[in-house]
């Protein structure tokens, strides 16, 4: 016969999968290109070695990219497989939460696990492929916690081979850290668990945690350094004063529990708070946080440790994302649903414990009422999760949903404009970019948006306006000489364009300008000068087929037909090779790839025929 506990576990898993069913039809959204679809490490058959090298992947989470690399071998860039794995990992984590809650003898353990499984605040962690970081690190974190508790119990009982459980805890903790280093808080969380279980904090109990603290600190410091140097969490956008950081942290510590208690709306980018470190009223959240913790400490001193342990766990688990360290998403919003994937467990345990106390105090009738209310709450959360998953259908759906709930999200307007531009809806894209420009005060973001505006002006045929936009950018930030030259060409200002082209091709960071300048020279019937530009470029970028195709045209115009044939043959070979690497940015997919290859074949055939005729004369 099936035990009631197993039946409840099966029910929990099925309810989780049902709530996340729409996620199986979801696509790829923000950052999924750099993490999966256009990640050259995944396309590389030997990429499983490269992903262990810091800097080879967007963030140094090799456990996550190992799973992606394996899945890439199985189903390529089909999003279904990645979403199935994320949902199953979350369902597995919910079962582990249930097991951990029972081991800790938490009141209403099933309710804690069900809240974790069905709460819509976790949709961002599950339906977003990039956040494999959360669900995989959560798996390692929970298994490490269970293994360490088993080790502590066995060692206290004098059981043989207790350190096998300790070795398992270290292994699972390492997996968690290699998936996401915010899990470095686990050793501190275990100390809180011992307080909850009323186990004395003796040296023999605590010293085995020291290696975990050291390992967590080491990898956390590495992540913080990479966040600044590789991800980009540095510069004026992160120049917060101490007062600013206190305001960010205290607001966040109120926001996260509040969102768990009232999960409407859930937004991909929440509005970014305005900070004023000189306004004393802006510090009221900090005062509220201090008072709340003082109250829980008072309760703990009077024998009720639950609220202190729960809120201290939540705050400690959230600590890396509270703003005391630079975190790249804070450029867009100071809070995000995926930041509290594990931290939510503290609030869920407190809510379930409070409900259990209320039910017990109200007798049989009250107990029934509270349980029915709990079932209604869980059903409502499941429905909200089901509905929220639809926002992750594709990138456009996600950005439109974000704008509908947070019209001031400049990044959503910017990214939606790029999608519209890719579809050829340039007028709409331009209007959206101009609106995005009014929403951000970040200089870095404004430069990014203004460059996009200049591109759209050119695509709309407003060449003089595009040239003016690039000229303004060039004066302010530089680095746009090549773009400015192209805009001037299209505006019919060739003399000025050549001056800027010559400056641009001397800048190694504007290598594309060499190709643009060569194309300009060919159109002006100056093939010898074009060859002089293209030959060194082709040597510097040996896998790029476009420059060799252009070089073939330059050789042909200069009468060097044999060289033209060789260049065209090399371009065709490189294009065919690039087409086979369907997961990389070099890939040319579908109909466009066929058109490019056919054009290259026809060009090669024509050049060979011309060379043969030339030799026959």
Tell me what the mean pLDDT of segment 100-127 comes to: 97
Asked whether residue 135 carries a pLDDT value surpassing 50, the answer given is yes
**Residue 584: per-residue pLDDT:** 38
The pLDDT value recorded for residue 367 is 79
Instruction: Count CB neighbours of 611 within 10 A.
Output: 18
At residue 199, the pLDDT reads: 93
**pLDDT greater than 70 at residue 542:** yes
- What's the burial of 321, exposed, middle or buried (CB within 10 Å: 0-12/13-18/19+)? buried
Identify whether the C-beta of residue 129 lies closer than 8 Å to the C-beta of residue 32.
yes
> How many Å from the N-terminal Cα to the C-terminal Cα in the chain?
93
241-259 average pLDDT score: 97
In this predicted structure, the answer to whether residue 386 has a pLDDT above a threshold of 50 is: yes
pLDDT at 579: 58
pLDDT band at 617 (very low <50, low <70, confident <90, very high): low
What is the rounded average pLDDT of the residues 415-438? 96
Residue-wise pLDDT for 146-170, tens only, equals 999 999 999 988 888 889 999 999 9
The 3 state secondary structure assigned to 53-117 is: CCCCCCCCCHHHHHHHHHHHHHHCCCHHHHHHHHHHHHHHHHHHHHHHHHHCCCCCHHHHHHHHH
The CA dihedral of 497, 499, 500, 505, to the nearest 10 degrees, is: 120
Measure the CA–CA gap between 155 and 153, rounded to whole angstroms.
Answer: 6
pLDDT score of 283 more than 90: yes
Taking alpha carbons only, the member of 305, 96, 125 closest to residue 199 is 305
- Which domains does the chain possess? 4-393 (no CATH), 526-617 (1.25.40)
CB atoms closer than 10 angstroms to residue 154: 17
Cβ–Cβ under 8 Å, residues 469 and 457? yes
| Banded pLDDT at 576 (limits 50, 70, 90) | confident
Q: In whole angstroms, how far apart are CA 44 and each of 49, 264, 401, 520?
A: 10, 42, 35, 36
Would you say 436 and 401 are in contact if contact means Cβ atoms under 8 Å apart?
A: no
The two tokens of residue 442 are 């970040």
Report the candidate in 188, 323, 181 with the shortest Cα–Cα distance to residue 255. 323
For the residues 119-140, what does the mean pLDDT come to? 98
- Residue that wins the pLDDT comparison between 72 and 576: 72
Beta-carbon contacts of residue 447 (< 8 Å; ≥ 6 apart): 473, 476, 477
Q: At residue 544, does pLDDT exceed 60?
A: yes
Is the pLDDT at 589 greater than 70, yes or no? Answer: no
| Nearest residue to 403 (alpha-carbon basis) of 539, 289, 271, 585 | 271
CA distances from 246 to 166, 249, 274 (A): 37, 5, 13
Cα 11 from Cα 454, distance rounded (Å): 55
pLDDT for residue 587 = 41
Q: Give the pLDDT of residue 60.
A: 94
Yes or no: say if 556 and 528 are a contact pair by the CB < 8 Å rule: no
State yes or no: pLDDT of 261 exceeds 70. Answer: yes
d(CA 163, CA 169): 9
Say how far apart CA 441 and CA 465 lie, in whole Å: 23
pLDDT at res. 35: 97
What secondary structure letter does DSSP report for 322? S
What is the C-alpha separation between 353 and 351, in angstroms, rounded? 5
Determine the Cα–Cα distance for residues 52 and 8; give it in Å rounded to an integer.
39
Separation CA 487–CA 493 (nearest Å): 9
- Whether 550 shows a pLDDT value over 60: the answer reads yes
Buried b (16+ CB within 10 A) or exposed e, 158-193: eeeebeebbebbbebbbbbbbbbbbbbbbbbbbbbb
Mean residue pLDDT of the chain comes to: 92
Average pLDDT over residues 293-316: 96
Residue 141 tokens, joined = 């974190």
Cα-only R_g, the chain:
29
Q: Is the pLDDT of residue 590 over 70?
A: no
pLDDT of residue 361: 82
Q: According to DSSP H, which parts of 104-209 are helical? A: 109-118, 123-126, 132-156, 162-179, 186-196, 203-206
pTM comes to 0.90
């Amino acid at each position: 016969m099936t035990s009631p506990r197993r039946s409840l576990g099966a029910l929990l898993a099925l309810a989780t999968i049902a709530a996340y069913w729409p996620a199986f039809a979801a696509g790829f959204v923000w950052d999924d290109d750099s993490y999966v679809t256009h990640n050259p490490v995944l396309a590389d058959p030997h990429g499983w070695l490269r992903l262990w090298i810091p800097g080879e992947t967007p963030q140094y989470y090799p456990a996550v990219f190992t799973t992606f690399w394996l899945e890439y071998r199985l189903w390529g860039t089909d999003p279904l497989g990645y979403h199935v794995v994320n949902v199953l990992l979350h369902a597995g984590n919910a079962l582990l939460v249930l097991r951990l809650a029972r081991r800790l003898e938490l009141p209403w353990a099933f309710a804690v696990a069900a809240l974790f499984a069905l709460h819509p605040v976790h949709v961002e962690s599950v339906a977003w492929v990039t956040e494999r970081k959360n669900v995989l690190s959560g798996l390692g974190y929970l298994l490490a916690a269970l293994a360490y508790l088993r080790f502590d119990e066995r060692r206290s009982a004098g059981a043989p081979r207790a350190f096998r459980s300790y070795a398992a805890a270290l292994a699972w903790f390492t997996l968690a850290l290699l998936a996401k280093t915010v899990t470095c808080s686990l050793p501190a969380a275990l100390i809180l668990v011992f307080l909850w279980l009323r186990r004395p904090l003796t040296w023999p109990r605590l010293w085995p945690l020291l290696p975990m603290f050291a390992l967590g600190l080491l990898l956390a410091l590495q992540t913080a350094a990479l966040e600044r140097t590789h991800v980009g969490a540095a510069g004026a956008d992160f120049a917060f004063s101490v007062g600013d950081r206190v305001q960010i942290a205290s607001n966040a510590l109120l926001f996260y529990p509040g969102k768990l208690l009232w999960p409407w709306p859930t937004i991909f980018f929440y509005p970014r708070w305005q900070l004023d470190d000189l306004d004393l009223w802006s510090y009221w959240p900090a005062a509220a946080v201090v008072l709340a913790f003082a109250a829980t400490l008072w309760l703990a001193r009077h024998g009720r440790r639950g609220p202190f342990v729960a809120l201290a766990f939540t705050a400690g688990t959230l600590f890396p994302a509270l703003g005391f360290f630079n975190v790249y998403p804070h450029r867009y919003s100071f809070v995000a649903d995926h930041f509290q994937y594990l931290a939510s467990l503290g609030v869920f345990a407190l809510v379930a414990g409070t409900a259990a106390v209320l039910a017990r105090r109200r007798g049989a009738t009250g107990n029934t009422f509270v349980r029915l209310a709990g079932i209604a709450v869980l059903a409502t959360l499941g429905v909200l999760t089901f509905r929220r998953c639809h926002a992750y259908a594709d990138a456009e759906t996600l950005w439109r949903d974000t704008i509908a709930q947070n019209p001031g999200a400049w990044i959503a307007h910017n990214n939606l404009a790029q999608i519209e531009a890719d579809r050829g809806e340039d007028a709409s894209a331009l209007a959206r970019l101009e609106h995005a420009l009014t929403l951000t005060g970040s200089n870095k973001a404004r430069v990014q948006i203004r460059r996009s505006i200049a591109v759209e002006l050119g695509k709309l045929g407003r060449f003089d306006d595009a040239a003016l936009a690039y000229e303004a950018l060039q004066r302010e930030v530089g680095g746009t000489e090549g773009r400015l030259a192209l805009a001037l060409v299209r505006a019919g200002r060739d003399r000025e364009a050549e001056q800027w082209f010559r400056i641009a091709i001397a800048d190694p960071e504007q290598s594309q300008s060499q190709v643009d300048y060569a194309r300009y020279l060919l159109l002006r019937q100056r093939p010898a000068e074009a060859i002089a530009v293209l030959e060194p470029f082709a040597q510097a970028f040996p896998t790029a087929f476009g420059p060799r195709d252009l070089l073939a045209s330059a050789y042909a115009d200069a009468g060097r037909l044999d060289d033209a044939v060789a260049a065209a043959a090399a371009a065709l070979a490189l294009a065919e090779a690039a087409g086979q690497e369907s997961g990389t940015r070099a890939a040319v997919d579908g109909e466009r790839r066929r058109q490019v290859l056919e054009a290259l074949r026809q060009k090669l055939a024509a050049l060979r025929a011309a060379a043969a005729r030339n030799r026959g004369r």
